[in-house]
Amino acid sequence: MIMNHFLWLLPLVFSHLSSPVILLERSDGNLFHWNHLMEGDKLVLHRSKRDWMWRQFFLSEEYTGSNYQYVGKLRSDKDRGDGTARYVLSGEGAGIIFRIDEKSGDLHATQRLDREEKASYTLQAQAFNKITGLPLEPATEFIVKIHDINDNEPKFTKAVYTASVPEMSDVGTFVIEVNATDADDATYGNSAKLVYSILQGQPYFSVEPETGIVRIALSNMDREVRKEYQVIIQAKDMAGQMGGLSGTTMVNVTLTDVNDSPPRFAYSSYHLSTYESAEIGSTVGRIKANDGDEGENAEMKYRIVDGDGKEYLDIITDEITQEGVIVVKKKLDYESKRVYTVKVEVTNTHQDPNFTVLGPFLDTAIIKVTAKDVDEPPVFSRPQFVFEVNEDTPKGIAIGTITAWDPDATHYPIQYAIDQHTDPERLYHIDPKNGSITIIKSLDREVSKWHNISVLASEMNNPHQRSRVPVLIKVLDVNDNAPEFAMIYETFVCENVRAGQLIQTISAIDTDDPLVGHKFVFSLSSMNPNFTIFDNEDNTARILTRRSGFNRREMSVYYLPVVISDSDYPIQSSTSTLTIRVCSCDATGNMRSCSVDALLLSAGLSTGALVAILLCVLILLMLIFSAQRKEPLIISKEDIRDNVVSYNDEGGGEEDTQAFDIGTLRHPEVVESNQLRRDIIPEMLFPYHRPSPMKECADVRDFIISRLQENDTDPSAPPYDSLATYAYEGNGSIAESLSSLESSATEGDHEYDYLSNWGPQFKKLADMYISKDTGVAN
């Protein structure tokens, strides 16, 4: 069976070949090669199998004709030409892109095709009998290929490229690689063969035509001269030949910095000035060297390398501004030096060894700082003065001299004074002209060993210019105090003591302070038959008995005068008396009892003090006895005076308030006008002042104020010890008054029978109010 009943011809003419070759492609994929001979303008084909009928060879893309583009002619061997055969097309684009004539089998393309969108279409063709509708033969598949034309320009992957390269790079240094693509068929002709070239950016950069790699084309490109470049690259197809399509892109190239620029001062010398009073660490001025680099390559460090002002000035690097800050290192002095000169060096912090040949990477400059004069306060010859003076130095004697001068060129005279706040006792005086300090009061080292005063020095022509200096005065000791007992000794001797027995060890103190230390000598003022003293030569002494057999009935207390002397010059001595009591002791020497006087002495009480205590006790007993016989102040419940009654019983009711008559407050006009106070005996009688009557149910506050005024103005009523307490809530209280002082007018409206049910504790209260209520009802 012959597989191919439908024959169609697709002449593929390769124009680049010297001799055209025609390929016929079948649906089964077999290609037949036809040699041809050119006979004039005719093309003669030879095939040994059978003849084919065809009218068109290929289908070109981007057809611009007004008619449908003819593709080829399909015809079946079963078609007898009588019009009974009908051709049907199916497959990709059938009926839309491709259309077949049912009668003739002519195939046309109805649309403009683009190979870049679709390079080939697979279709199926079949012949049917129009009458019976049956297929004349099986369907045959064939392929329509679109022939490419150069209709797409190259396109770069980026519209703008960004690249950076270090400055001073060598020729040929890689910068960036650009890439373009062409949608045309790279396997057919040169439509997609691209060539790169530079349209802008020469002579600084170059591009490789085939790879698109951009490289440095010029050496020693300096960022400080020019930092940024714009390079335009072109990609052209058709191998760069004329007529080819092209596309462009831009490459922004930035030169990055390297440390190839050393720092340089703008001037060889700088002139600054500051006042001589400038504080240490204060800023005098700033200088800055220029460095064309940036970032860490532009970081600089300043230092002083020479100059007569190195001791007074210093330079600090400001890391933010890269400036050198001149500061005061030591106080300037206009009077001693007017101009201070230093030599400053600046260097790069980070240096690149590849560019040391461009150096040296440092620079120097001279800085001159002029000190300006300031009216300064006086200056003392010392930071502090220390004087020594004996405590027995007479008044008016000079102990030292304070000296100061004016540091300015004017040399104004100086005036001295003592700050009185530092010498509150006014012990010293200073001469305002020569600064000599004298004593005006006696000194006592035992009171104060050191005196710390402040002396002020000021210019006479400008008192505001003032200085202060501390003056320390040490008071030297003079042996003017005698030693004495170190403490109060309570010494006793037993009646059964033996001769030569130790009864007390004594020591002494001295407020003086000799240079070699204290050395005391102990002795008795006279020969004593009962006791003796032994000097231990260590500033202590022992008291020993001279005999035995003391009797406290004969003599209960002995007084032993002890003489204590020091060894300083002049020698000072004093006599201290040691009191020795005679006591009864046991066999081991422990005291059992002493005389009455001795016991009183041991308690620290004298006989006079004991008598005074006994007298006080006697007077107290007499007062207690007289108080028991005195008539009490409160003798009747009719007494209208206010009293304070203190009790601890609960539920006493009215029984506890018999001393207070509530009716007095309700009816003050019933008070007897001639009733006198019984708690006092007036020295003289005054006419009784009758209180003004108060109307019934008067306000308690008004009553209190009225009675207070009457008592304040009544000379016949001196104050006595009593306390009147009134519980008054005041006007406007929500609870109203808690007392019954103002209820006299309305108390008859109340029922008090319930009080009898409250128990025996409220019996008195119930009897009083219930009986009163009954009387009112009757």
pLDDT at 464: 87
Lowest-confidence region among 118-127, 189-198, 569-578, 702-711: 702-711
Quick one: tokens of 244? 């080819």
Lowest-confidence region among 229-233, 740-744, 749-753: 740-744
Mind listing the pLDDT tens digit for each residue in 621-653? 888 877 665 555 444 444 444 445 454 545 545
Residue linked to tokens 């059978």: 50
pLDDT at 383: 93
pLDDT at 406: 87
CA atoms of 335 and 374, how far apart (whole Å): 10
Residue type at 116 in one-letter notation: E
Strand order in the sheet with 450-459: 385-390, 466-476, 450-459, 414-418
Lowest-confidence region among 209-213, 605-609, 692-696: 692-696
Mind listing the pLDDT tens digit for each residue in 59-74? 777 777 778 888 888 8
Quick one: tokens of 630? 């005195």
Mind listing the pLDDT tens digit for each residue in 188-246? 778 788 999 999 999 999 999 999 999 999 988 988 889 999 999 999 988 888 878 89
Lowest-confidence region among 169-183, 558-572, 619-633: 619-633
Lowest-confidence region among 9-18, 280-289, 688-697, 754-763: 9-18
Coil/strand/helix, residue 693: coil
pLDDT at 675: 47
- CA–CA distances in Å: residue 560 to residues 236, 531, 550, 576, 585: 138, 8, 15, 8, 21
Coil/strand/helix, residue 624: helix
Could you tell me what percent of the chain has a pLDDT over 90?
A: 34
Answer whether residue 669 shows pLDDT above 80.
Answer: no
Mean residue pLDDT across the chain: 78
Mean pLDDT confidence for 388-405: 91
Answer whether residue 101 shows pLDDT above 90.
Answer: no
pLDDT at 751: 67
- 315 Rama sector, left if φ>0, alpha if ψ -120 to 50, beta otherwise: beta
Closest CA to 142 of 5, 1, 28, 11: 28
Closest CA to 439 of 387, 385, 399: 399
Answer whether residue 178 shows pLDDT above 70.
Answer: yes
Residue 394: DSSP 8-state: P
Residue linked to tokens 């009962």: 530
Residue 268 contacts residue 343 (beta carbons within 8 Å): no
Q: How confident is the model at residue 474 (pLDDT cuts 50, 70, 90)?
A: very high
pLDDT at 318: 94
Q: Greater confidence, 648 or 391?
A: 391
pLDDT at 269: 95
CA dihedral of residues 79, 83, 84, 89 (deg, nearest 10): 70
- How many C-beta atoms lie closer than 10 Å to residue 612's C-beta? 12
Q: Measure CA 443 to chain center.
A: 54
pLDDT at 1: 28
pLDDT at 676: 47
Answer whether residue 671 shows pLDDT above 60.
Answer: no
- CA–CA distances in Å: residue 575 to residues 519, 524, 525, 533, 562: 16, 9, 8, 14, 5
Q: In 362-486, which ranges are continuous DSSP H helix? A: none
SS3 content of the chain, % helix, strand, coil (to 5): 15, 35, 55
Mean pLDDT confidence for 551-556: 88
Map 444-466 to HEC letters: CCCCCCEEEEEEEEEECCCCCCE
Coil/strand/helix, residue 556: coil
Residue 207 contacts residue 197 (beta carbons within 8 Å): yes
Answer whether residue 750 shows pLDDT above 80.
Answer: no
Tell me how far apart the 2 most distant CA atoms of the chain are, in Å.
190
pLDDT at 4: 38
Quick one: tokens of 335? 């009077």
Q: Among 357-361, 613-617, 697-701, 712-716, name the most confident range.
A: 613-617
pLDDT at 325: 96
Mean pLDDT confidence for 695-713: 70
Coil/strand/helix, residue 615: helix
Mean pLDDT confidence for 339-356: 89
Q: What is the DSSP string of 48-110?
A: SS-----S---EESS---SSPEEEEE-EETT--SSS-EEEEEEETTBTTTEEE-TTT-EEEE-
Answer whether residue 673 shows pLDDT above 60.
Answer: no
Closest CA to 329 of 344, 346, 310, 342: 310
Quick one: tokens of 397? 């004697």
pLDDT at 630: 52
Residues whose CB falls within 8 Å of the CB of residue 18, separated by 6 or more in sequence, listed in order: none
Q: Among 290-294, 505-509, 638-642, 744-748, name the most confident range.
A: 505-509
Q: How confident is the model at residue 698 (pLDDT cuts 50, 70, 90)?
A: low
Burial of 6 from C-beta contacts in 10 A (0-12 / 13-18 / 19+): buried
CA atoms of 677 and 446, how far apart (whole Å): 65
- How many C-beta atoms lie closer than 10 Å to residue 151's C-beta? 14
Q: In 230-303, which ranges are continuous DSSP H helix? A: none
Residues whose CB falls within 8 Å of the CB of residue 387, separated by 6 or more in sequence, listed in order: 399, 400, 437, 471, 472, 473, 474
Burial of 380 from C-beta contacts in 10 A (0-12 / 13-18 / 19+): buried
pLDDT at 663: 52
Mind listing the pLDDT tens digit for each residue in 508-544? 998 887 767 888 999 998 899 999 999 998 989 999 9
Mind listing the pLDDT tens digit for each residue in 410-433? 677 899 999 999 999 999 999 999
| Bridge partners (DSSP) listed for residue 163 | 253
Please give the model's pTM, rounded to 2 decimal places: 0.41
- CA–CA distances in Å: residue 238 to residues 112, 213, 245: 24, 20, 7
Mind listing the pLDDT tens digit for each residue in 254-265? 999 888 888 999
Closest CA to 560 of 580, 536, 582, 534: 580
pLDDT at 367: 96
Closest CA to 577 of 480, 485, 481: 485
CA atoms of 448 and 513, how far apart (whole Å): 13
CA atoms of 419 and 424, how far apart (whole Å): 9
Mean pLDDT confidence for 166-180: 92
CA atoms of 254 and 166, how far apart (whole Å): 8
Answer whether residue 28 shows pLDDT above 50.
Answer: no
Angle at Cα 446 formed by Cα 441 and Cα 452, nearest 5°? 60
Q: Greater confidence, 509 or 726?
A: 509
Residue 77 contacts residue 3 (beta carbons within 8 Å): no
Could you tell me what percent of the chain has a pLDDT over 70?
A: 75
CA dihedral of residues 664, 669, 674, 675 (deg, nearest 10): 0
